[in-house]
Each structure stands twice: as structure tokens, then as C-alpha cells.
């Protein structure tokens, strides 16, 4: 259950985004995923449509329909504020960061990385004791 303080914060966020209850079309969808029988047999996923902006949000984060209702309202208000202010959400930034990390390196980056590795290996080889060869190393 969401606390009254959290509900007040969500209402303030909705007011800042000019989202009014009269503009929302709310429907419930059959849930799925982890959560067992409670999730799979009940309509606990909330779908909110905001007519003036044309945005639609689905929320099924928890097993509770009431909690999902408030989380969907918060997500919708944040989405509208993002579009108005041109900012990217933390979730979108994290998604882009993962995409950049998974991206393949260019040929120049690979060559530079390998050159750095070879230079490091040479530096370590220079630190070995004098007179020891590979067969006597421990």
C-alpha cells in the first residue's frame, strides 16, 4: 500500500504536469510474469490513457492493483514532464548506457586497446628478475 505522503507527492507531480483525473481513461488488464497465481489470474495491470497528450502508460510492477494505479499515474506525469522539458529519464539514460556498453568497438579502438595491452605486458616483463627464464619461474 502506498502511504498518504507518497500519494500527495504523486498528486503534486500530476498537477505540475497538468494531468487531471477527468482526462484519464483507466482500464485493467490481466497480469502476467512473476508473482504466481495472484498475478496471472487477476486484472492487476493498469493502463492509463491521457486524452489531451495522447500518451498511454501500462503499469504492472506490483501484485496490487491499487499500488499499480498510483505508480501508473506517476509514470504518466513523469513522461509528460519529460516531453515538455526535453529531459531524459533516469531509466532512459540507463538504457542508453547499456546500449553504448554493448556496442562493438571500432577498429581504431581495438587497435589502441591492444597497443595499450602490449605496452603493459612489456612493462611487466621488464620488472622480472634478471637471469630467470620462463622455465625457472614459479
In a domain, residue 38? The reply is: yes
Mean pLDDT to the nearest integer, 43-69: 91
User: Distance of CA 50 to CAs 62, 66, 79, 82, Å?
Assistant: 22, 18, 11, 15
Beta-carbon count within 10 A of 44 CB:
25
pLDDT, tens digit, for every residue of 3-16? 999 999 999 989 99
In a domain, residue 124? The reply is: no
Q: Is the pLDDT of residue 35 over 80?
A: no
| Residue 27, pLDDT score | 93
In a domain, residue 42? The reply is: yes
Lowest mean pLDDT among 27-31, 67-71, 129-133: 129-133
Q: Residue 28: which domain range? A: 4-89
Contact 52, 36 (CB under 8 A): no
Our count of domains for the chain comes to 1
pTM across the whole model:
0.62
Q: What is the CATH classification number for the domain harbouring 27?
A: 3.30.160.20
In a domain, residue 18? The reply is: yes
**Edge-to-edge order in the sheet of strand 55-59:** 24-29, 45-50, 55-59
CA separation for the pair 52, 97 (Å, rounded): 32
Amino acid at each position: 500500500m502506498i502511504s498518504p505522503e507518497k500519494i500527495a507527492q504523486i498528486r503534486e507531480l500530476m498537477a505540475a504536469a497538468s494531468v487531471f483525473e477527468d482526462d484519464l481513461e483507466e482500464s485493467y488488464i490481466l497480469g502476467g510474469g512473476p508473482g504466481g497465481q495472484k498475478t496471472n489470474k487477476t486484472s492487476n495491470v493498469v493502463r492509463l490513457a491521457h486524452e489531451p497528450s495522447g500518451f498511454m502508460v501500462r503499469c504492472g510492477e506490483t501484485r496490487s492493483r491499487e499500488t499499480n494505479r498510483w505508480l501508473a499515474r506517476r509514470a504518466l506525469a513523469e513522461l509528460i514532464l519529460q516531453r515538455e522539458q526535453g529531459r531524459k529519464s533516469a531509466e532512459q539514460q540507463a538504457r542508453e548506457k547499456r546500449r553504448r556498453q554493448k556496442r562493438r568497438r571500432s577498429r581504431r579502438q581495438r587497435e589502441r586497446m591492444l597497443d595499450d595491452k602490449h605496452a603493459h605486458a612489456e612493462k611487466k616483463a621488464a620488472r622480472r628478475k634478471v637471469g630467470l627464464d620462463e622455465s625457472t619461474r614459479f
